[in-house]
Structure 1
């Protein structure tokens, strides 16, 4: 049997982390077993539809490499892949259940249903429909239909016994049928409910594995009873625990938590985001943490999924992002950072490739670039305390001596490159009887005006050029001489 999974988002805005994780796991379940990954757009909730949201879904899947085998944009044998384009079929399937005695027409008004909730002593959350319309005769039903009376179609739930289903992550789960409400299948506007459309579409598209959040565990018995009512085989269920902001709160855009688009805008690499999200609820059999998408496909197993909630740790993602940048092939890395460097570095004579090389081992996110390179254009205001460094054994007096001694040496360099600058400055260190740091730290500080910088004295001097190097050292000497 071919494995078929589907990502079925609603076009309601941004792609949140939990949604992307669901898509990733569905993709990995299919691809790790040579199966198909399908995209289906569930847009039957017209009130929540957001213009442009479908494009966000397409773009996210494209960016992350989660290439679908079938979908609205590429077609397939099981289309249409947009629920609103499948509208004609849902009512027909609901009527099949009515004919079989598994569903029934309900003509109750909104006011009557509200009164049921008010009269229920246990509160709204526990209010159940009282099956007022279940006993209507065929003649009464037809009379109401002929009169154009608004209606919904409800599923007839068993009153006794239990329903058990198996979940790959949570195991066997059993519920008392008495707890199940006669859920609506077709709404008064003719649109199917989310639960009903899901079951029909998953069956018709031959979906073998349904992956979704654990908040749908309570709805799954209703799904299974629908499959039973139709005489269909239910898929494998894979319910995922939530992704949490902390031990007590789920991730939520309303509370300022990041969406996928937010993370990309903040300078995180798509590959690192996907890698990190894969580990939010799944563990490999070894201790490997860095995975390409191909490696995830090779190593992924459903058995590695956890039932424990995962906490989204931005610090861990930041570390992982830095590892991706460090280990990236230089040309690919340079093409990635070049536009940001061109925007951040205004002095057009500076060698951006050299600056990029200095940054590669120091960047955590791409958004760090402006902060790390701004001193190349303009020497910031700084205090002489920066020249004091315990490990380098420098004081303001030693720094002043070092900078003054460096000026004639630098002025005498004819071939300006890293190798020559290195040789001349280290020769001066030997001549002065200093430690390397006692000369190089003051020069680095004078050139950057920062407590730390991407690159040391020699690399910074090479990039800034002879004239600017001497000008900045002169500023340092003036500061230290006061």
Structure 2
């Protein structure tokens, strides 16, 4: 039996609040229960949203709560680096595998052209699907334009340890961006590659990702990767109970709770 390996993979875009720390806690508890390993990975590929000092703040928050990790940005391990911004060559290598297999292509369209496609679909009262505009003979990808996944729409059934048995139809699967024009990967691509290389056995994350699962499963198949066990955490709601708790609703920094004596 393989060693249980879980991960907490936040983006350094601000302080850690109760929603994020709950995800980290469950991932840590699963690893502790199975005498496994808990990994911290920083998903810092969106440089426009990154907040200076937040990576250090995330690490400080986990340590203050006793959620120690076996591998991470400041703890050497065999699967590093543990910052996605330091793994760009790895993502390009895996992207090339998809290109060679005919499962990825250079995106030829400008943002304005894509917006036109969206508006056209809306006016015709049909869902927008990028794959409907997939180029027949795409140019060779040179890294200056986005790289898109060439999806193969199909129905899926999968099990989630929290949500139970789930299913989806082929209509929800589309061609999504793997690597942006700035050379950084999207979450949709990078986390699948990283989880595989870091030998993550259990992916525990928030409910906001459930709608993307069919696309993830399509990409797992294209990469020849066996997907991990999934456990999707329901949202923590705001005080009114009508939407997910966020910093805009007054969700406090977890270190504030400690300073307040909790």
Asked whether the two chains share a fold, i.e. TM above 0.5, the reply is yes
1:421-468 Cα distance to aligned partner (Å, 9 max, x none)? xxxxxxxxxxxxxxxxxxxxxxxxxxxxxxxxxxxxxxxxxxxxxxxx
1:129 Cα deviation after fit: 1.2
* Equivalent position of 1:219 in the other structure: 212
Measure, in 1, the Cα distance between the counterparts of 2:260 and 2:149.
47
Are 2:238 and 2:249, in contact at CA under 8 Å, matched by a contact in 1?
A: no
Residue 14 of structure 1 aligns to a residue in which SS?
coil
Match of 2:25 in 1: 24
**Among residues 216, 228, 235, which one is paired with 1:235 in the alignment?**
228
In structure 1, C-alpha distance between the alignment counterparts of 2:110 and 2:121, rounded to whole Å: 17
For the pair shown, which has the larger CA radius of gyration, 1 or 2?
Answer: 1
- Aligned residue in 2 for 1:95: 96
- Could you say which structure has the higher strand fraction? 2
**Is the Cα contact below 8 Å between 1:105 and 1:133 reproduced in 2?**
no
Instruction: Give the drift of 1:252.
Output: 2.0
Runs (5+) with no aligned partner, structure 2: none
Among candidates 252, 256, 260, match of residue 262 of structure 1:
256
C-alpha distance 209-123 of structure 1, shift in aligned 2 (>3 A):
farther
**C-alpha displacement of 1:196:** 0.3
- Shift, 1:133, TM fit: 4.2
**SS where residue 136 of structure 1 aligns?**
coil
| Structure 1 counterpart SS, 2:48 | helix
1:107-126 alignment runs, 5 A limit: 107-121=108-122, 126=127
Q: Runs ≥4 in structure 1, deviation > 4 angstroms?
A: 122-126
Deviation at 1:264, TM superposition (A): 2.3
Report how far residue 261 of structure 1 moved: 2.4
Cα deviation for residue 50 of structure 1 reads: 0.5
How far apart in 2 are the matches of 1:17 and 1:238?
18
Alpha-carbon RMSD across the aligned residues, in angstroms, is 2.0
Extract unaligned runs of 5+ from structure 1: 269-482
Task: State the SS of the aligned residue for 1:243.
Answer: coil
Contact 1:211–1:239 (CA<8 Å) still a contact in 2?
yes
Residues 43 and 136 (structure 1), Cα distance of their counterparts in 2 relative to 1, 3 Å cut = same
Of structures 1 and 2, the one with the larger relative CO (CA 8 A, separation 6+) is 2
The corresponding residue for 2:181 is 188
Distance across 1 between alignment mates of 2:223 and 2:174: 19
Matched residues in 2 for 1:69 and 1:239: separation?
A: 23
- Please give the alpha-carbon distance, in whole angstroms, between the structure 1 residues aligned to 2:91 and 2:156: 25
Query: CA contact under 8 A between 1:40 and 1:72: conserved in structure 2?
Result: yes
Aligned to 2:243: 249
C-alpha distance after superposition, 1:30-65 (max 9, x if no partner): 110000000111100101110110111111111111
- Per the alignment, residue 201 of structure 2 pairs with 208
Cα distance between partner residues in 2 of 1:172 and 1:158: 22
Q: 1:31 and 1:56, CA in 2 relative to 1: closer, same or farther beyond 3 A?
A: same
User: Are 1:38 and 1:69, in contact at CA under 8 Å, matched by a contact in 2?
Assistant: yes
**Judging changes above 3 Å, is the alpha-carbon distance between structure 1 residues 116 and 227 closer, same or farther for their aligned structure 2 residues?**
same
User: Which residue does 1:175 correspond to in 2?
Assistant: 168
